[in-house]
Amino acid sequence: MTVSRRSLIAGMLALGTLPLAACGGSGAGGSSGGVGSGEKKNPEDILVGLAMPTKSSERWIEDGENLKKQLEDKGYKVDLQYAEDDIPTQVNQLDNMISQGAGILVVASIDGTALTTQLQTAADNKIPVIAYDRLIRNTPNVDYYTSFDNEKVGVQQGTSLLIGMGYLDADGKETGKTDPANIELFGGSPDDNNATFFFQGAMSVIQPFIDKGILTVKSGQTDFEKVAILRWDPATAQSRMENLITSTYSGGDKVQGVLSPYDGLSIGILGALKSAGYGTADQPYPIVTGQDAELASAESILAGEQYSTIFKDTRKLAEVTVAMVDAIAKGEEPEVNNTETYDNGEKVVPSYLLESVIITKDNLKAELVDTGYYTAEEVGV
Ligand code: GAL
């Protein structure tokens, strides 16, 4: 707590909201006094730097736009930048935001370990930093984290794979089915802290079925390092699936389930399966999972191709992040709901975690259309 309070005070200095008395009072690193009760800057005088990873995935476009709009509605100035999954570009963007006088930074990192120098500069300039959806690692200079319960997202992915394959019922209870089946596993980008949470969560429900000899990862590729897809790149996932089909399934065996942690990968995986003759009445697609409820996957689910996705409402993530920015700017302590899980290697980062929802054909309309996330026309329902 002392660390985050210190960071908060640092933030207040940057924003000019810490009373001078507090600066002079208890000396460097002083941990009490005056936060939130001093002179405030107006939102109009505060530039919020938003560093997003890429526009190649629709979710980050939504995230960026939601954040920008909600911040601007509150009067803040916003600098929104996308780095096209290129680490040096993101580094430059952060340098620029800092030199342009950003008061607060909200960062969805590409490589969660690559921003140490920039965040040190941010700290030196008393700029508070919120890690957005992806934890920034190996630095003390990240003040808060907003995301979803990433371990639970993984559990939901594994659970939906097993529901789709008939081993669990809709409530997640074992159905008693013991028919053997082949599966393959995919992981997210190894430099994204979330990817290991997703994989561990998923394997916590899948592994018991492997141990019982019901499910077999026929390629033998079960280590995260083996199955991880750098930068979450759909083309890499597609070619890995093609290679798996050639190396493991050319003798007539079929794959009945594929754990995919992200919709972009799922679409690539389905493309490889389609080219290999899956997706017909005789040779149906395996159960393929996903994440992010991207439009292409919503359509694919309705078409009976991809089985499931995990819906993480980016509107809500933007809301809690904007509330955090606003609280920091006003000298208040932002609301968090987790102070245990997200150790970034230097400290446990106080977090606000949201809940996610498994989406299949059955609840897609209710969750994605009736809530206004997509229009009926967009998904074609
Ligand atoms: C993760 C994020 C996922 C997905 C993935 C690929 O960090 O939590 O929801 O978007 O990146 O973009």
Q: How far is CA 11 from CA 206, 291, 302, 347, in A?
A: 43, 34, 47, 18
Q: How far is CA 133 from CA 279, 287, 333, 368, in A?
A: 34, 27, 20, 20
Q: For ligand 1, is residue 262 a contact (CB within 6 Å)?
A: yes
Task: Identify the H or E element spanning 156.
Answer: helix 150-164
- Beta-bridge partners for 185: 259
Q: What gap in Å lies between CA 127 and CA 365, rounded to an integer?
A: 42
Nearest CA to ligand 1 atom 5: 262
Q: pLDDT tens digits for 347-366? A: 999 999 999 999 999 999 99
Structural fold of domain 150-311: Rossmann fold (3.40.50)
Q: Which pTM value belongs to this model?
A: 0.89
- Closest ligand 1 atom to residue 54 Cα is 12
Are 291 and 309 in contact by the 8 Å Cβ rule? The answer is yes
For position 331, what pLDDT does the model report?
87
Structural Rg of the chain based on CA atoms: 22
Alpha helix segments (H runs only) across 100-139: 116-124
Q: For ligand 1, is residue 133 a contact (CB within 6 Å)?
A: yes
For position 50, what pLDDT does the model report?
98
- Closest ligand 1 atom to residue 147 Cα is 8
Strand 215-217 relative to strand 357-359: parallel, antiparallel, unpaired? unpaired
Pocket test for ligand 1, best of 152, 157, 232 (most atoms within 8 A of CB): 232
Q: For ligand 1, is residue 313 a contact (CB within 6 Å)?
A: no
Q: What is the CATH number of domain 5-142+313-354?
A: 3.40.50.2300
What's at 279, amino acid-wise? G
The conformational region for residue 296 under phi > 0 = left, psi -120 to 50 = alpha, else beta, is alpha
Three-class SS of residue 4? helix
- Ligand 1 midpoint to CA 149 (Å): 12
Q: What gap in Å lies between CA 379 and CA 376, rounded to an integer?
A: 6
Give residue limits of the domains in the chain.
5-142+313-354, 150-311
Q: What gap in Å lies between CA 105 and CA 121, rounded to an integer?
A: 12
Other C-beta atoms lying within 10 Å of the C-beta of residue 306: 29
Strand 309-311 relative to strand 357-359: parallel, antiparallel, unpaired? antiparallel
- Ligand 1 midpoint to CA 262 (Å): 7
- Ligand 1 midpoint to CA 66 (Å): 16
Q: What gap in Å lies between CA 230 and CA 353, rounded to an integer?
A: 25
Say yes or no: do domains 5-142+313-354 and 150-311 share a fold.
yes
Q: pLDDT tens digits for 53-70? A: 999 999 999 999 999 999
- Ligand 1 midpoint to CA 176 (Å): 33
For position 375, what pLDDT does the model report?
96
Q: How far is CA 291 from CA 20, 144, 153, 238, 298, in A?
A: 47, 24, 8, 16, 10
Q: For ligand 1, is residue 326 a contact (CB within 6 Å)?
A: no
For position 41, what pLDDT does the model report?
79
Q: What gap in Å lies between CA 87 and CA 338, rounded to an integer?
A: 29
Q: pLDDT tens digits for 117-131? A: 999 999 999 999 999
Q: For ligand 1, is residue 292 a contact (CB within 6 Å)?
A: yes
Q: What gap in Å lies between CA 157 and CA 149, rounded to an integer?
A: 13
Residue in the structure block whose two tokens are 């580094």:
91
What are the structure tokens assigned to 225, written together? 């390092």
Low-confidence ranges of the chain (pLDDT < 50): 1-39
Distance of CA 72 to the CA centre of its chain: 23
**Angle of helix 263-275 relative to helix 234-248, nearest 10 degrees?**
40
Q: For ligand 1, is residue 194 a contact (CB within 6 Å)?
A: yes
